[in-house]
Amino acid sequence: MRRPQRRAVAKQSRAKDGDEIRLLEAWIDAGKPLPGTKPPPPSEESSAANARVRARDVVAKAAAGDYSDYGASTRFDELPLSQKTKDALRKAGYKEMSEIQRAALPHALCGHDVLGAAKTGSGKTLAFVIPVIEKLYREKWSQEDGVGCIILSPTNDLAGQIWEVVRKVGKHHNFSGGAIVKRTGIEQEKERINSLNILVCTPGRLVQHFDETPNFDCSNLQILVLDEADQILDKNFKSQVDIILSQIPKARQTLLFSATQTKSVKDLARVSLKNPEYISVHEQASTATPDNLEQCAMIVPLEQKLNMLWSFIKRHLKSKILVFLSSVKQVKFVYEIFKKLRPGIPLKCMHGRMKYEVQQAIVAEFSESTSVLFSTDIFARGLDIGNVDWVVQVDCPESVALYIHRVGRTARYNKKGKSLIFLCPQEERMLEKLKATESKIPINVRNQKWNNWSRYLRM
């Protein structure tokens, strides 16, 4: 194609985008949900064909100035989204919205701050990635505009996974971005970070750039996202988060999402939320964990925990099993010992002292095969691995929230899963917390003597 032709095509494309942006802004403003509103229960539709017809009808009416109430939408193609985003979602297989997406997207798309809480595996990532892409598109963001969005994640692995979703949803847009994690050197990042529109990173890595990268500028930031917000606002990240908040504008949209969300007025004041929409789609649910998750606890003497773990693995050689241990030393020790004993199933281990590239390779291998993965809590939050059959907790979690995040690695997206936790007699206080009514954790306790449990481990 000759240069004049390319210029003509580019000009035509910009004009088309401008028309679509004006339509989207009018549609969003006309159908803006009132504060505190939640979507009505989805109506029954007889077929996918009817849904497609309905979606085309919604878009046609909007083009004619008859804007629909998108707060009642059940499908992505019924929302006021750019055609580029809709095409990417359809190609990726995203059609029907989950509960958290139905509840959060109408508020997030019209610029409201959102404090979202939903069970693990419920689709929270799309609930903030779509508003990010759409906001920058409607603002006509380009590389020259610099950083328009920062998405903070507590771990490098989760940041990498979020970036893959951003790439998938934004593939037809022209935004630049990346996961700023330890897999690349800081010097290479410094050269390009000011030209990136979307940054997905850990708080520590972002602070490093504020300290070391000349002229690193986030003064035009449009939207800040905190994934696993309860952990990022925890004391372990406090100093880093305070530095970040001091370097970015307060006039921005802020989205906070987690499975166990904070309502602390002090925490919310720190991130300068403006009249946030608190969306907890499972707040009235009978359980805090996935509905299809079968949970069991066993009281095991400390010196017998590894024997019980070995027996369990030997009886589940055709399952994908994720085993949580509390420290890097324990992960290394159990992995090396069990590997020498050769249980008859592939074994893997993962912890925070591994290089990022190694961690990514292990996650990919575990995703694709039947195996046992021994891990620290680096794997406990957010990571989306399909078809995990069992989550086994050998060491007691520090809190009920951490227990919920651990078991959330299975029974994702309405699939079935099972979990088992070994607690020694000194840890029965945690069992009391898990069984407490307010915890909403339907856990079954096996009180047999430990030397009779091999029969139970065949479950």
Q: Look at residues 245, 430, 258, 406 and name the one whose alpha carbon lies nearest to residue 322.
A: 406
The full DSSP string for 383-448 is ---TT--EEEESS--SSHHHHHHHHTTSS-TT--EEEEEEE-GGGHHHHHHHHSGGG---EEEE-S
Say yes or no: do domains 3-280 and 293-458 share a fold: yes
DSSP state of 263: -
Rounded Cα distance, 137 and 132, in Å: 9
The listed CATH number (1.10.8.100, 3.40.50.2300, 3.40.50.300, 3.90.550.50) that belongs to domain 3-280: 3.40.50.300
- Would you state the pLDDT for residue 350? 94
Q: Quote the longest CA-to-CA distance of the chain.
A: 82
Rounded Cα distance, 299 and 305, in Å: 9
Rounded Cα distance, 214 and 445, in Å: 57
Q: Tokens 């940041």 correspond to what residue? A: 159
Residue extents of the structural domains in the chain = 3-280, 293-458
- 255 φ/ψ angles, rounded to the nearest 5 degrees: -120, 125
Are 403 and 410 in contact, with CB atoms under 8 Å apart? no
Q: Look at residues 365, 346, 424, 396 and name the one whose alpha carbon lies nearest to residue 335.
A: 346
- Would you state the pLDDT for residue 108? 97
Q: What is the CA radius of gyration of the chain?
A: 24
Q: Tokens 């290479």 correspond to what residue? A: 188
Rounded Cα distance, 250 and 265, in Å: 17
Q: Look at residues 76, 72, 284, 270 and name the one whose alpha carbon lies nearest to residue 169.
A: 76
- Cα–Cα distances (Å) from 13 to 19, 49, 421, in that order, read 10, 30, 56
Helix, strand or coil, per DSSP, at residue 215? coil
- 227 φ/ψ angles, rounded to the nearest 5 degrees: -90, 145
- Would you state the pLDDT for residue 225? 97
Query: Is the full-model pTM beyond 0.75?
Result: yes
Rounded Cα distance, 43 and 46, in Å: 10
- Where do the DSSP E strands lie in 50-207? 114-117, 149-152, 177-180, 198-201
Report residue 454 as tokens: 């091999």
Report residue 314 as tokens: 């030997």
Amino acid letter, residue 172 = H
What number does CATH give the domain 293-458? 3.40.50.300
DSSP state of 354: S
Report residue 324 as tokens: 């949580």
Q: Where are the alpha helices (DSSP H) in 120-177?
A: 124-138, 156-169
Are 197 and 147 in contact, with CB atoms under 8 Å apart? yes
Rounded Cα distance, 98 and 252, in Å: 26
- Would you state the pLDDT for residue 46? 44
Are 422 and 305 in contact, with CB atoms under 8 Å apart? yes
Rounded Cα distance, 444 and 421, in Å: 10
Helix, strand or coil, per DSSP, at residue 188? helix
Long-range pairs of 192-196 with CB within 8 A, sequence gap ≥ 24: 193/147, 194/146, 194/147, 195/143, 195/146, 196/143, 196/146, 196/147
Q: What is the pLDDT along the chain (459 residues), one digit of tens a residue?
A: 555 555 554 556 677 889 999 999 999 999 888 888 888 777 655 445 566 656 777 777 777 777 777 888 999 999 999 999 999 999 999 999 999 999 999 999 999 999 998 887 888 999 999 999 999 999 999 989 999 999 999 988 899 999 999 999 999 999 999 998 865 578 888 888 989 999 999 999 999 999 999 889 999 999 999 999 988 988 889 899 999 999 999 999 999 998 876 666 667 778 888 889 999 877 667 788 888 999 999 999 999 999 999 999 999 999 999 999 999 999 999 999 999 999 999 999 999 889 888 988 998 899 999 999 999 998 887 677 878 999 999 999 999 989 998 998 998 877 899 999 999 999 999 999 999 878 889 999 976 544 555 555 555
- Where do the DSSP E strands lie in 135-242? 149-152, 177-180, 198-201, 223-227
Rounded to 10 degrees, the C-alpha dihedral 45/127/295/153 comes to 170
